[in-house]
Structure 1
């Protein structure tokens, strides 16, 4: 649930809301005959369907609420939020007890019998001693189906280095699969235009389908292999160099059917002996994507994951309906596929007792994430292998819209323009200060407000010679601004009067106002340095007491957030802002929707929290 940050403050009000619900539910139940305890769905909802919940009776609403809070508790990582949720769960558990519902039955996942694989029994901790190659024993059953009839193996080989190495690679790979599953179905795509090895290998493995082609990408190659798959499941053998009994495909098929997940993988053993669980959680928020190795929940000794790093099994039906993007693995192929699973509310697991033998995992230089970043609107990514991806802002068209946070590239343009202007102020000895929304952003967040539509600066309008130097410096720096020097030289301003200009940096407009009296000027005249605030890494002039200035300018609860007055429907640039609220997003749940965040605090906009 991606509202983790909202819960920090929201959990406080949630407890009050729960008490209200308790009073409501208790009153309603007391007016009627005590209902029988109903069987509850075992699967925790990934997304709470509020509209559907409203149609249920009070008891079911309470159970749905309990599941949602319990799910949030599992996935939240902030200690304060976790404490609030723990208290909320305690209240809800008491409420469930009052209506004869066992909380454990509400929260506990439940499984069904696998359709094709016999069940297993744990024989105890002494059974497999001392090597523990066994411990769980498969039952006998009448419905068991050999895994070779259930799973088709697919593999992509990119740009083989030579005929001999290709033959060796294929022979070892196919032989290992045939050794484990003699009648297995194998499909391999090789990124060369024609066959370059002898027909001996084809005679040795007649049932293996080999496709030779100059594929556009790994994704397109895998899609071509999937088209004619007839089995219910597919093993995608990314990085896998051989199959052994360590992989325990029966175990994986049993769990994908029993727990009803979309994909299931195992742990990885690299050629260098390094072992990894290969289970990652992902956070996609505010133009940033971050992967973190680890898990929040387990079941049947398997870990729930947003992203599986190694080979995995999924259903052929799902893979045909949700094909791979036409990109390569090093350009986000699997990150994209698993993100689509996660955002659709589906789940994936890794069962680490199943282990795949894979090539050494390395970070490949020269990767091109442009197609991935454009599709997912990601400007900065912390990837599973520990490397980072950043988009080139010079290639991005920037814009702003109500209810949406500015992109990092838009923020950079505004910030670069502000800092450039302020440097020119300093170089020419002109007194300048941040003001209005830009000053507010500096005080609250240490940068431009992520929902602003312009920038606001003020300068001293009393010195004719400095105004001329300043104007020429701005023009030379590539900024577009009307000549304000005549206003400085020919017009006298009183306190409260101002000269208003527009200034443009890379097409983005700012309000640029001249004032006769400024705090920084008065401080300098008294032998003091101007007050400066750290703004996106640079110390910039502000009013003498910027906290006081902004409190008096914006009024009550100004540290809580509100979008630009032009977006909120105000007719004046000096309204009494209604804070602590963002406009309802037109694309609910989108990563850049402001209403996904608490409309208070600076952490959501300064730190990428897990």
Structure 2
């Protein structure tokens, strides 16, 4: 459409005028959608690509980023500011009187914002209220107190403040306070213990207006230690792992775009109500970890645009304040458990190399449930499969039994560079049936005792029964078969006397592939076998043959250059879906990297 519009050729059909109007409408919709994606993009690389597309469409990437404007005769919420230069003021510091505001008839701040606070005692609440009133004397404050104490004289001294008693600083407490608010915005004073003029509310409102964002916070200073942090974090959920890391890749007007902010923040009252109503029993920092997380992961919420402005400073509880002073990296593992279980996360990676993991049993995750078309398997499920496979391979090595991996297990090692396919349904191992007595004897017992894997009864694959020598001479096939069971998995063990990997063709050792920490024998040319077995683009992603309702893996189903993932059933958590979260090619997306 764009090429036709700019080619000078136009449209020459009998309905050219109507067609041209339709194309202009479509082009306008495309511009709007690409611009929306540009504003929502969290990756710098993605944003550069979208910016290039916008230039081709004749749209500037930041075309709607400007100064505060009013609609019609409405008063602006804040007055426009301007920079006078970075020269220090005599007797002051370089930050004094550098940004100034143009005079305007604006909406009074007290008609726009109320402040929500939590204090552990009346004395702490009274101190904080007085500190805020020194800077913003007219702004209303709603205070929740954890322990009123006896007597209540200090709480009675708090002037013109709505006071609520709440048992703990959780989502319900903030919801309760928010219901008393009558202004458009609220400043959620989470962990706030002190207040100075450095907490510039006008600056935050200006950012919300200029950059069209939903929540604005700032840097934090831990009290009384004095340590300063930017407080901006990015978060991802992939492969059932939540990763939270400090940093940003996009910024504007000295404010960074963040997925999670550690500071108090300004937000619309109605938006806070909606975000906290969904789930509000978590306490402390986790209340807001989940609040910011769910707006990014839950389909019922649009992506919240959140910023942290480096010049807005909040004074928050420090390390000496116990639980209130804990940042995300200091929150103990057991506090994360409810969030992990609710979101079906078996791993949480936090700043400072903090790495929390849970088993599927810990979280009541049913691996058989996730052996389903359209979804990937939780990490803990693949670890269960890996534990049983590696248990058998290690025991086979200990008893000097020749084994090798093939079929889907080989393809997984080839495609992922050393792992299992995220949509695996079983594992396939070939073993030397002349070692039958070892398999059914000591190996079977040790598999159960050490690895909690049960070896089923032997299945005789030919008329020769367990006479492996006769089977090997007469046929080129498997002679014996076992099914190895774990809690959630079946592993196929094929006893084949014709062990292809050991046809060395003049080489010293068989080819080995890396499989989740082990080097294990396989066919001489793994990539060639995978390509010949499954089709031309074997590195592309096609799900398990059972997901397509096929009777056998030998049916042709994988010879595609690119194939869309199967639909994701609604009963699964959104981040488990292949469609919409993963590309149909590439293996880095399945690795535990940011």
Contact kept? 1:167, 1:201, Cα under 8 Å: yes
Correspondence for 2:344: 377
The residue that corresponds to 1:295 in the other structure is 248
Q: Name the CA distance, whole Å, in 2 between partners of 1:475 and 1:337.
A: 44
Unaligned 5+ residue runs, structure 2?
Answer: 71-75, 319-324
Q: Flag the 1:236–1:388 CA change in 2: closer, same or farther, 3 A.
A: farther
Aligned to 1:492: 471
1:333-392 Cα distance to aligned partner (Å, 9 max, x none): 111111233442231112222111122254143542122112322222223576333233
Residue 420 (structure 1) aligned with residue 401 (structure 2): no
**Paired residues of 1:167 and 1:197 also in contact (CA < 8 A):** no
Q: Hey, what's the Cα distance between the residues in 2 that align with 1:332 and 1:602? A: 32
What are the within-5 Å matches in structure 2 for residues 234-313 of structure 1? 234-271=186-223, 272-313=225-266
Q: Provide the C-alpha distance between the structure 2 equivalents of 1:392 and 1:471, rounded to a whole number of angstroms.
A: 24
Which of residues 39, 59, 70 in structure 1 aligns to 2:27? 59
Change (3 A) 1:498 1:68: farther
Residue 60 of structure 2 corresponds to which residue in structure 1? Answer: 104
Query: Is the partner of 1:430 in helix, strand or coil?
Result: coil
* Structure 2 counterparts to residues 131-210 of structure 1, below 5 A: 131-145=94-108, 147-157=109-119, 160=120, 166-192=121-147, 195-210=148-163
> Does the 8 A contact of 2:232 with 2:262 survive in 1?
yes
* Residue number among 157, 180, 205 corresponding to 1:228 in the alignment: 180
Residues 348 and 137 from structure 1, CA distance in 2 versus in 1: closer, same or farther, beyond 3 angstroms? same
User: In structure 2, how many angstroms separate the alpha carbons of the residues matched to 1:367 and 1:472?
Assistant: 35
CA contact (8 A) 1:463 1:488 kept: no
In structure 2, distance between residues paired with 1:25 and 1:301? 38
Deviations 1:478-507 (A, max 9, x none): 433333387444662421344443221123
Q: Distance in 1 between matches of 2:8 and 2:290?
A: 47
Structure 1 unaligned runs (5+)?
1-20, 36-53, 161-165
Choose which of 370, 373, 381 in structure 2 pairs with 1:410: 381
Q: 2:488 aligns with which of 473, 484, 507?
A: 507
User: Counterpart of 2:322?
Assistant: none
Matched residue SS, 2:315: strand
Please name the residue that 1:583 is paired with: 565
2:483 alignment partner, SS class: strand
- Going from structure 1 to structure 2, the CA distance change for 1:384 and 1:334 (only over 3 Å counts) comes to farther
- Per mean C-alpha deviation after superposition, the further-off stretch among 525-534 and 115-124 is 525-534
Specify the alignment match of 1:458 in structure 2: 430
Call closer, same or farther: CA 1:203–1:592 in 2, change over 3 Å.
Answer: closer
Task: Provide TM-score, normalisation by structure 2.
Answer: 0.82
* 1:573, distance to aligned residue in structure 2 (A): 1.0
Q: Deviation of residue 584 (structure 1)?
A: 3.9
How far 1:512 sits from its partner (Å)?
A: 1.9
Flag the 1:210–1:71 CA change in 2: closer, same or farther, 3 A. closer
Query: How far off its partner does 1:516 sit?
Result: 1.6
Judge conservation of contact 2:563–2:584 (CA < 8 Å) in 1: yes
Say whether residues 1:387 and 2:348 are aligned partners: no
User: 2: distance between equivalents of 1:247 and 1:572?
Assistant: 66
Alpha-carbon contact 1:331-1:367 (below 8 Å) kept: no
Distance 2:39 2:445 in 1: 60
The 1:242/1:29 distance shift into structure 2, 3 A limit, reads farther
Q: Distance in 2 between matches of 1:460 and 1:151?
A: 75
- 1:389–1:34 CA distance, 2 compared to 1 (3 A): farther
Deviations 1:26-66 (A, max 9, x none): 4697238999xxxxxxxxxxxxxxxxxx9973431552465
Residues 222, 316 of structure 2: 8 Å contact kept: yes
Q: Does 1:400 align with 2:371?
A: yes
**In the alignment, which residue of structure 2 is the partner of 1:600?**
585
- Per-residue CA deviation, residues 97-145 of structure 1 (Å, 9 max, x unaligned), is xxxx4x3277553454263322223233447575231212222222330
CA RMSD of aligned residues (A): 3.3
State how far apart, in whole Å, the 2-side matches of 1:69 and 1:210 are: 42
**Could you tell me whether the CA contact under 8 Å between 2:231 and 2:263 is conserved in 1?**
yes
- Cα distance in 1 for partners of 2:60, 2:427 equals 54
TM-score (norm 1): 0.80
Q: 1:245: Cα distance to partner?
A: 0.7
**In structure 2, what is the Cα distance between the partners aligned to 1:452 and 1:549?**
19
- SS for the counterpart of 1:340 is helix
- Paired residues of 2:65 and 2:210 also in contact (CA < 8 A): no
The answer to whether the 8 Å contact 2:86/2:94 transfers is no
Kept in 2: contact 1:563–1:582 (CA 8 A)? no
**Cα distance, 1:471 vs. partner?**
4.2
Tell me: CA distance 1:236–1:55, structure 2 relative to 1, closer, same or farther (3 Å).
farther
Structure-1 separation of matches of 2:51 and 2:524: 47
SS at 1:543 equivalent: coil
Residues 57, 302 of structure 1: alpha-carbon distance in 2 compared, 3 angstrom cutoff: same
Q: Distance in 2 between matches of 1:245 and 1:107?
A: 32
1:529 deviation in Å? 4.3
Query: Secondary structure of 2:35's partner?
Result: helix
Per-residue Cα deviation, 1:389-418 (whole angstroms, up to 9, x for no partner): 323333232232111111111111111111
- The whole-number CA distance in structure 1 between the counterparts of 2:333 and 2:235 is 23
